[in-house]
Amino acid sequence: MITGLFNNWIVIVLMMSGLYIVIAHGNLIKKLIGLSLFQTSVFILYISMAKVEGGTAPILAENIKELSNPLPHVLILTAIVVGISTTALGLALVIRIKEAYGSIEEEDIQILDNLPQSKTQKKIMDGEQ
């Protein structure tokens, strides 16, 4: 019972720590790291479901009978690509945000957004000096 579901519980712990980082951390890069942790844990969920006891990698060869399920592997290959695309795009946004706001902390950005434009300009200048 316990051993059969253990993998899923590990996944849940990883997934939830990722989600927590995304929500609770204010630093945008940390948020993206949390996001990629969150996504990677889903990969582990998929891959661990594909495993068959006694099977080996799904590449046909002589004298090999049991194979693990290839379909989740295919899906996760696609999902990894999606993950890196999202992360890269997010990082590009972070660069632009840093240039525009002078900070990558969520709190600072929210403060700067609520100030009138002229004041914010000044504040950024102050911050940079």
| Cβ distance to another protein smaller for residue 26 or 123 | 26
Task: State both tokens at 25.
Answer: 């951390």
Report the C-alpha gap between 48 and 8 in whole angstroms.
8
| Cβ distance to another protein smaller for residue 106 or 123 | 106
Task: State both tokens at 94.
Answer: 């972070």
Is residue 125 helix, strand or coil?
Answer: helix
- C-alpha closest to that of 66 among 88, 50, 83: 50
| Cβ distance to another protein smaller for residue 51 or 122 | 51
In the complex, minimum distance from the CB of residue 3 to another protein, in angstroms, rounded to a whole number: 7
In the complex, minimum distance from the CB of residue 118 to another protein, in angstroms, rounded to a whole number: 14
| Cβ distance to another protein smaller for residue 92 or 119 | 92
Question: Do 73 and 58 contact (CB within 8 A), yes or no?
Answer: yes
In the complex, minimum distance from the CB of residue 98 to another protein, in angstroms, rounded to a whole number: 5
In the complex, minimum distance from the CB of residue 123 to another protein, in angstroms, rounded to a whole number: 13
Task: State both tokens at 95.
Answer: 């660069």
